[in-house]
Amino acid sequence: MRRCVSIALALIMGSCVVIAEQPQLSGAFFWIQATSSIGTGTWAIWVDPNDLDPCAPMVEYDLMSPIPLSTSGGTLVATLINCNMYVQQSSGGPQITVNFGVAAANANTTFTARTATLNLPHTIRAADAFIRYSGTVTVTDANGNGANALGTGAIGTGICRAFAPATQRISDLVAFVAVSGGGTVSGNQNDPQFGFRALGHDYKSLKNEMSFILTAGDVCFVSSDFGAMQVDVCVGDFNDNGVIDQADLTMQLITLGSCEGDANYHDILDFDADGCLMLQDLSGLLSAFGTSCP
């Protein structure tokens, strides 16, 4: 398993601090659960962000051999055939990509899988929030009696689901794929069809989730790619007018001492992104006072 993550960049332009946002991970890197009339089997791979090496802007995992998803008593519910997942911060922005395959045992099986949450140090405002999402689901009729994968939830809900922030679903793709006669069929959707689309609201985190029911004895491979456009956040520009000015200083003084979770905390004023607005953040704003953001 390769475990690398880039160090956050702070670019000084004039005296205005512009931060190229670097995500941090929380939760299991990849988690999957299979549930059927047989029982429930779960598997996860964990990555400790504190142990990551700053050797490349990527965290990656490759499953080397199939993993049985079994009950606590050892009864096989399903098999995780393969899994390749990576999270990266490229020049284009943060990205979560996951590819995995599963095989149901002798019962229709509900699979739920999710990735780690990417947490950004500063909120991306709606005006700068642009995302893209794609999903591909491939189903194989392994036993020759027909096969299908159906997204869980209300009719029409997609198998592949994107969240931004992590608590708000903003896209779901590929609701249903069916095949018969021992064949293989794929379904694919992109949101939007090309490029990026406006998200329409603020976000500070991203998450990717897949949930579907697979027919007994059959095989399904899922691939999804979730990305957001790179945004360079101008820390200290609270009113977003492109200048670190008196209004920003006033707000910094009003909110001094507040921490994340407090009603008057604003992370755009948190220069060191430690979750609290302290004297060092006031010092950062005073150093940038009067400068323009690029």
DSSP string, the chain: --BB-PPPEEEEETTEEEEE---EEEEEEEEEEEEETTEEEEEEE---GGG-BTTSSEEEEE--S-EEEE-TT--EEEEEEEEEEEEEEETTEEEEEEEEEEEE-SS-EEEEEEEEEEEEEEEEPGGG-EEEEEEEEEEE-TTSS-EEEEESSSTT--SEEEESSTTSEEEEE--EEEE-TT-EEEEEEEESSSS-EE--S-EEEEEEEEEEEE-TT-EEEEEEEEEE---EEETT-TT-SSB--HHHHHHHHHHTT-BTTSTT--GGG-TT-SSB--HHHHHHHHHHTTPBP-
Q: Where are the domains of the chain?
A: 9-232, 235-288
User: Is CATH 3.20.20.150 what the domain over 235-288 is classified as, yes or no?
Assistant: no
Residues 223-248: tens digit of each pLDDT: 999 999 876 667 777 777 878 888 88
pLDDT above 80: residue 91: no
Q: Give the pLDDT confidence score for residue 48 in this predicted structure.
A: 62
* Average of per-residue pLDDT values in the chain: 84
Instruction: Please give the residue that has the higher pLDDT: either 7 or 220.
Output: 220
pLDDT above 70 covers what percent of the chain?
Answer: 86
Residues 285-294: tens digit of each pLDDT: 888 888 877 6
Q: Give the pLDDT confidence score for residue 150 in this predicted structure.
A: 98
pLDDT above 80: residue 49: no
Q: Give the pLDDT confidence score for residue 196 in this predicted structure.
A: 94
